[in-house]
Amino acid sequence: MADTPNDPVVVIGLGRFGSALALELTNRGTEVLGIDSRPKVVQALSGSLPHVITADSTDIEALRQLGVAEFHRAVVAIGTDIQASILTTSLLSELGIPDIWAKAISDQHRHILTRVGATKVVAPEHDMGERVAHLLSGRILDYVEVDADFAVIKTTPPRDVVGRPLRESRVRSRWGVTVVAVKPQATLAGRRPEFTHATADTVLAHGDLILVVGPIDSVERFATSD
Ligand code: ADP
């Protein structure tokens, strides 16, 4: 059966990253088995996570006994102890878990995790640093990288595209980006309407919020033009 967004997830390592992840998944209705080697950490989370247990994830017998092999999805959220992170990832792979996410704290770490069976590697500190850099430049109010070279940003329109239909301002041919949604400025009553799809006939005003998609260089150029 194909994985669904609600398939249970085993989260190993309940530090800052792992505990935030496990709690958010639980709040969203996903069943989570949380594992950490430190009893204090497990105890602190036992009130908010229904299934949380003390175990050493580098011990394959312990993983077997906990039924970890039955899970289709696992996240290795151990960062600082690189050896434990790598060993745990390889054991999960040996147990046949098809979807293994792992957290890396360096490029080398990322590389090894992929080699030992991680299907997706995240580097939260590195990725957040990049994200903040984008938020600090130009008029970018929010930024999500959806692929190595593609992003969605929330921004405001440059002066040049205000007051005429998008078709006329030729946003796509000039900047190589597409305006996909617009949220007009607050009304006199102070309420800002919701985002709606932008079309070729959409006329943007100063202060509108827009969602723009395109290659990273292009969306940045768009968000820094006057
Ligand atoms: P963060 O920066 O997100 O807090 P850390 O790497 O500091 O990440 O924390 C990872 C967590 O993983 C810690 O709570 C630690 O006790 C746990 N951990 C480390 N090694 C193991 C292991 N072999 N088995 C289970 N949990 C582990």
Which residues touch 80 (CB under 8 Å, ≥6 apart)? 15, 105
Amino acid identity of residue 200, one-letter, is A
pLDDT one-digit tens code per residue, 155-202: 999 998 999 999 999 999 999 999 999 998 876 666 778 999 999 999
Which tokens sit at 176?
């190589």
Whether residue 42 has its Cβ less than 6 Å from ligand 1: no
Which tokens sit at 165?
């239909």
Q: Which of 173, 149, 170, 150 is nearest to 161 (CA)?
A: 170
| pTM to 2 decimal places | 0.79
Superfamily of domain 9-122 in CATH is NAD(P)-binding Rossmann-like Domain (3.40.50.720)
82 bridge partner residues:
none
pLDDT one-digit tens code per residue, 108-118: 999 999 999 99
Q: What is the mean pLDDT of residues 199-223?
A: 93
Domain boundaries, the chain: 9-122, 128-224
pLDDT one-digit tens code per residue, 82-116: 999 999 999 999 999 999 999 999 999 999 999 99
Whether residue 56 has its Cβ less than 6 Å from ligand 1: yes
Rounded to the nearest angstrom, the distance between the alpha carbon of 153 and the centre of ligand 1 is 33
- CA pair distance 181, 109, nearest whole angstrom: 38
CATH architecture designation of domain 128-224: 2-Layer Sandwich (3.30)
The secondary structure of residue 176, as a DSSP letter, is: S
Which tokens sit at 12?
């190993």
pLDDT one-digit tens code per residue, 30-59: 999 999 999 999 999 999 999 999 999 999
**Residue in this structure with the two tokens 């709690």, named with its chain if needed:** 23
- CA pair distance 148, 196, nearest whole angstrom: 27
Residue 1's pLDDT band, with cuts at 50, 70 and 90, is: very low
CB atoms inside a 10 Å sphere around CB 221: 17
Quick check: do 9-122 and 128-224 share a fold? no
Whether residue 111 has its Cβ less than 6 Å from ligand 1: no
Q: What is the ipTM of this complex?
A: 0.95
Whether residue 39 has its Cβ less than 6 Å from ligand 1: no
